[in-house]
Each structure stands twice: as C-alpha cells, then as structure tokens.
A and B are shown apart, each in its own frame.
Chain A
Amino acid sequence: MTDEELISGIIDENQLYFKIFVDKYQSLVLNTCFHFTHNKNDAEDITQEVFIKAYQTIEKFTFQSKISTWLYRIAVNKSLNFIRDNKKRTIFKSLESFFSSNVKYNPPTEDTLAEDAYDDIKTQRLISLRNAINLLPENQKTAFILHNYESISYKEIATIMDVSIASVEGLIHRAKLNIQKNILKKIKKSKSL
C-alpha cells in the first residue's frame, strides 16, 4: 500500500488505514524520540503525541515532502518541547528539594539505567556520552541525532530542519567536536576528583 492510499484512507476516517500507518512508522518515531529523551517511557508518550498530531493535521499534508520527513519534523519538535518543559520541571524540582530537604535530586537521564549495572564501565561511558549530547545546542543535537542514529541524508535533514545542506554539514561537524569536548571535560573532571 502506498503512502498516498494510506493518507486518503486516514482522511476518510478508516481506522484500519491509521493502524497500518502507525505500525509502519512507529519504529521511526519511537527511536527518534528515544535518542532525544534517552528514556523509553518518555519516548513512548511523545510517540503517541506525534501520531495524534499527525492524525489531526493529515489533511494539510501536501505531499511536497516524504511522509517520513513530515513525521521526523513533528517528532523532533515534540521531543525538543518535551526537553524544554522537562528542564523547567527539573529546575523547580531541584529548588523544591533544596528548600524542603537535603535529599539529592537525580537527573532523569539516568532513570533508564538499572542501578545494579551502574558500576559497569560501559554504562558509565554511555551516561557520559548521553550527557555530552544533551549539552549540545538544539540545532546541533537535532542534526547529529538524525544523521548518526537515524542515518538520514544531509538533504533530508536540511528539509526537516528547514536549513541549507551546508548548514547541516556545519552543524554535524560542530556537534561532533562539542561532544568530544564535553566528554574530555568530564574525563578530566573525574580524574581530578
């Protein structure tokens, strides 16, 4: 079944077509959201929001781009909004815990990792890498994740992010350097402790 047929079926409110659409693109949306949030539950929640948004606005889809490009764009925007909201919540929570008790607040990025495996060197390195990616500016993070984890071409990333291909190249290059810099800082910090 082609994407055009799927979309016209969804516009006609055929639930079966919408189910096929969700099954076809679930992996794409879920994994994109996961690479932004690093949390399975959050990624699933955002995925639901992405498909709801797609269902509600599918009539406006004009086939000027691929449907996957359109879904990537919604997924990226929803994930970035989630991270922004989460940052605000984290600040409030840390303030709350600072004023109410001396209990240390754990950042949500480490939630997904089992505590018994925490000592594992690979897990520590993975946390360090995720933190380094989280510290990137939004546009660098988006370009890096889409290129590195979703293996999307520069051209498609440029369409998703609404920038030129040269900008995408620059963003990915800077993102790689900044990730390395953030990792190096972390290593030096842990060595000095």
Chain B
Amino acid sequence: MKTKLSHNTILKFYNKQLSHEEMKHVGNCIDNSRELKNILNELEATYHLTNEKERLENNPYLFMEISNKLNKNKNQDTSYSTYLQRVFRPIMALSLVLLTLYTGYSIGNLASENSQQFTTQTYNSEFYFNDLQLEKMETVLLIKE
C-alpha cells in the first residue's frame, strides 16, 4: 500500500504531538509503508547526532599566535614610517592628480593658442595672396569707378 504523509504530519508523529487517535492512525500508515519507515528511521538516526557533542582539542600555540598578532598590530600602529605613509600618501596622490590636471590644461591651452595663431596667419596670407593673384586690373578699375 502506498501512503503519502505530509512533512508536518511526519514531524508531529516523530515529536509525539498528535492526538492519541491520530498517533494510532499515522502509526498504522507507517507500519504498512516500508518507505515511510525508512524515512522515519533515517530522521531519527540523523537528528540523534545532535546529542553527540564534538569537542576540539586546545591548541597549545594559541597564546603565542595571539601575542604575535597583538605585537604586529602594536608595531603597525606606532611605527613612524607607517604614520608618514598614512599621512603623506593621500597628499602625494592628490598633488599628483592636481599636477596632472594642470599640466593637461596648460598643454591644451598652448595647443589651442598655437592653432589659433596658425589659422589666422594662413588665412591672412591666403587672403592677401589670393587677392593679389585673383584681382585683375579690370576689376580694380571697376571697383574704383
């Protein structure tokens, strides 16, 4: 006979939280089903392991390891070089960033100034050059008239 019981019913039966009648009925169901019997046995065996109190052995070197760590922390906290590093590192990084930005800005400005000068000059020279080249005698006379 294949019987299906919910998790809650099995757990209530396992913890004996059902009424007398229900306990009897569920008990019969479990007796008739090999699968349910196996499940209940496995649950009992696994949960029973909570009674086994595993204990670790003490580590004889624990105090040594702790005092080493404490000394290391103390040295790190008091050492002058670390203090300097902590103070000067952000300052150095910030000044480097500012210097880079300023250099970039200056180079950019220099380039734009140069290009402006260059374009004006060429434009001017082209203008005069073209004028001289294109302006024929007839046109000059026409304008003057």
- Interfacial residues, chain A to chain B (CB-CB below 8 A): 15, 18-19, 22-23, 26-27, 30-31, 34-35, 40, 43-44, 47-48, 51-52, 55, 122, 125-126, 128-129, 132, 148-149, 177, 179-181, 183-185, 187-188, 191
Contacts and interface: CB of A to CB of B under 8 A. Distances in A.
A22 B63 CA distance: 6
A19 B63 contact: yes
B63 A43 contact: no
B20 interface: no
Nearest to B17: A177
> Size class of B's contact patch?
20 to 34
B11 A187 contact: no
A125 B59 contact: no
Contact of B55 (A27, A125, A187, A188): A27
B80 interface: no
Main secondary structure of the interface of B (DSSP, over half): helix
A15 B66 CA distance: 11
Contacts of A47: 59, 62
Main secondary structure of the interface of A (DSSP, over half): helix
A148 B56 contact: no
Interface string B1-26: 00000010011001100000000000
B135 interface: no
Interface in B87-132: none
Given A43-B56, A183-B43, A188-B39, 5 more contacts: A27-B55, A52-B69, A52-B73, A184-B43, A187-B46
Contacts of A27: 55-56, 58
